[in-house]
Amino acid sequence: MNKSSATEMKAGYAAKRRATNILVYVILSVMVVIWLFPILWLVLQSFNTVDRVSTHLFPDGFTLDHYKTLFTDPDVPYGTWIMNTFMVAVFSCIISTLFILMVSYALSRLRFKSRRKLLNMGLILGMFPGFMSMAATYAIMELLHMEGQLIGLIIVYSAGAGLGYQVAKGFFDTIPRSLDEAAQIDGATKNRIFWVIILPLSKPIVVYTALTTFLGPWADYIFVSYFMKTNEQNFTVALGLYKMLDNNHINRYFTTFCAGAVLIAVPITILFVIMQRFYVAGVTGGAVKG
């Protein structure tokens, strides 16, 4: 093959690669527009001067009254919903994160009888959606007189968190065992190794686990709607906002609902943006190599 033919082949390959890249960018741009359009429409409707559902992208006029209604209308206890949601999400996040990290470390580092069976059992149970157990869970909470109570929600969200060990275990597997062995030679116990040595090296997976366990209760509607029934005092934001869309309220509170949806999304978006690098590192399983 002469020099000119090789040059032509390289030029052709480069042209094909540029065309492929352009096609990929076009597809991704279209997908971004599709994903962002409902969010943009929701934000714009939250400023609309009318209360009813609008089919137009841009509002008839702009106002902040709907945001004020969230905190001034006695029929819309948005502040109470926020506090309920925040309390449930924070306590569930703390308890669930501890459960997941401890279970993951034990399954990653310790070798004991039936360990493989437990791993398989956890994997199989994780394949079943949580809402399949709602009736049984509600019956148990009813026996404990915790139905419709925020403490009951925290228990339900946290009790089975240990089954979500897969990602954290994979992260702990990447941390060299030589660290454990060196610490054991110095007389450290397994408990001390976990809290003093392993956790400080596992900031990405700790942040990832905390974010995922916080987002679940923060945005959950399915279980809380079944669990709370008509106990409006303990409604979370997801359930409270949904009640604003029933036939009796939608024409009065639709744009207020949009404002509430925007406000509840802002802190989570900011938190995710700030913690994004830890989130990515946790998913990819990056840790100390040795």
Tokens of 151: 């403490």
Residue 3 has pLDDT above 70, yes or no: no
CA–CA distance, 221 with 240 (Å, rounded to integer) = 9
Residues in Cβ contact with 178 at an 8 Å cutoff, skipping those fewer than 6 apart: 290
Is there a contact between 45 and 59 (Cβ–Cβ < 8 Å)?
yes
Residue 273 has pLDDT above 90, yes or no: no
State the greatest distance between any 2 C-alpha atoms of the chain, in Å, as a whole number. Answer: 85
Residue 241 has pLDDT above 50, yes or no: yes
3 state SS of 17? helix
Tokens of 160: 């089975």
The residue-averaged pLDDT of 50-69 equals 82
Residue-wise pLDDT for 179-223, tens only, equals 888 998 888 888 899 999 899 888 888 988 998 899 889 988 888
Q: Where are the domains of the chain?
A: 3-65, 75-284
Tokens of 196: 């003093």
Single pTM value for the model: 0.82
What is the torsional sign of CA 288, 92, 35, 67?
A: negative
CA–CA distance, 93 with 209 (Å, rounded to integer) = 8
What is the dotted CATH code of the domain comprising 75-284?
Answer: 1.10.3720.10
Helices vs strands, H then E, count in the chain? 14, 0
Q: How far is CA 89 from CA 3, 41, 231, 275, in A?
A: 66, 28, 18, 17
Residue type, 14: A
pLDDT at residue number 31:
93
Least confident of 150-164, 232-246, 272-286: 272-286
3 state SS of 82? helix
* Comparison of pLDDT for 13 and 35, the residue scoring more: 35
pLDDT at residue number 120:
85
